[in-house]
Amino acid sequence: MKKILVTGANGFIGSHLCEMLIASGYEVRALNEYNSFNSWGWLEDVACKDDLEIISGDIRDPFLCKEITTDIDAVFHLAALIAIPYSYRAPQSYIETNVNGTLNICQAALENGVKKIIHTSTSEVYGTAQYVPIDEKHPLQPQSPYSASKIGADMVALSYYNSFKLPVVVARPFNTYGPRQSARAVIPTIITQIMNGAKEIQLGDVRPTRDFNYISDTCRGFMALLECDAAIGEAINIGSNYEISIYDTLCLIKEIMNSNVEFLTDEKRIRPENSEVFRLWCDNTKINTLTGFKPTITIREGLALTVEWFTQRENLIKYKANLYNV
């Protein structure tokens, strides 16, 4: 498989994945979300952008999906609305983009004979862990409109495998972090506030735990699934098999940045009571068994690399650290 379509290519994970695909010798068609500024998002910053075939559009349009999957061997489907707080405010848009958009991509891929689709899920579909580590048999719990839309999208993708033998893999990454991540996520929120000289930083609940994965490891997991035919028809976790609390993550960042900043609880950042996911810890046995994949970047190493990227002025100025990013 040589020609790859990446939807959501302009985003955090998508832009890094495009770089890894180009470096591995693939031809890449990159779908950028249409906007009137003609901005390519994070694709503006990648060194390989001249090697990409960049198309602007919207996965909610089935005609566009049919067009962009023409002459494509495999699809990495990452395009989605992902901000959990905004899903409380605009739930219908999450259904239209995440569920209907996935339907459009699957139908277009089926009609155009695409050889493999890697559909991107999220650990949020599991909700608060009923047992740990969380394997792929863990019940799915829609604790936010976002997670509900991703559960729906996963089921649409798998239904195309079961109904039409469309070669679908559901990749379920846990909490990815690193350079270019949106400030709506907790790690960039902490780093950018410290970098902008805050003595007190505002956060939501710091008790929940997460299985954080550095961006290069998540992309390596995607690449491993692309090359694994045994993964077809399966949902597969991509994670580190390690959990850390938000508070301990804050303390580790403070140590790396030599900061004595204190944190304040910002009520705007607190999820509704039954919506908070309090524990995520990935069981990555399945992907390791199928592909041999193991993460290579420790949490301390990954945070240090992330801090280094954010300390560069040309990167930091792209973030509005004084605003709560919904």
How many structural domains is the chain composed of?
Answer: 1
Q: Residue 28 phi/psi, 5° resolution?
A: -125, 125
Task: Answer for the pair 55, 40: CB distance below 8 angstroms, yes or no.
Answer: no
Summarised one tens digit per residue, pLDDT across range 210-226 is 999 999 999 999 999 99
* 281 found inside a domain: no
**Burial annotation 79-97 (CB, 10 A radius, 16+ → b, else e):** bbbbbbbbbbeebeebbbb
* 313 found inside a domain: no
Summarised one tens digit per residue, pLDDT across range 65-109 is 999 999 999 999 999 999 999 999 999 999 999 999 999 999 999
CATH number of the CATH domain containing 107: 3.40.50.720
DSSP H/E element including 13: helix 12-23
* 270 found inside a domain: no
* 210 found inside a domain: no
User: Given CA atoms 267, 268, 274, 276 in this order, what sign does their dihedral have?
Assistant: negative
Structure-token match 């003609």, residue found: 38
Residue type, 150: K
Q: Among 277, 264, 118, 162, which residue's Cα sits nearest to residue 203?
A: 264
Task: Answer for the pair 56, 32: CB distance below 8 angstroms, yes or no.
Answer: yes
Between CA 3 and CA 26 the distance in angstroms is: 6
Determine the pLDDT at residue 201: 87
* 282 found inside a domain: no
Tokens describing residue 162: 């079961």
Summarised one tens digit per residue, pLDDT across range 255-273 is 999 999 998 888 888 888 8
Is pLDDT above 90 for 322? no
Between CA 19 and CA 238 the distance in angstroms is: 19
Summarised one tens digit per residue, pLDDT across range 295-313 is 999 999 999 999 999 999 9
Between CA 253 and CA 306 the distance in angstroms is: 10
Domain limits for position 220: 3-176+215-238
* 285 found inside a domain: no
State whether residue 90 is helix, strand or coil.
coil
The maximal CA–CA distance of the chain, rounded, in angstroms, is 57
DSSP letter, residue 196: T
Tokens describing residue 81: 């609305």
* 309 found inside a domain: no
Is pLDDT above 80 for 326? no
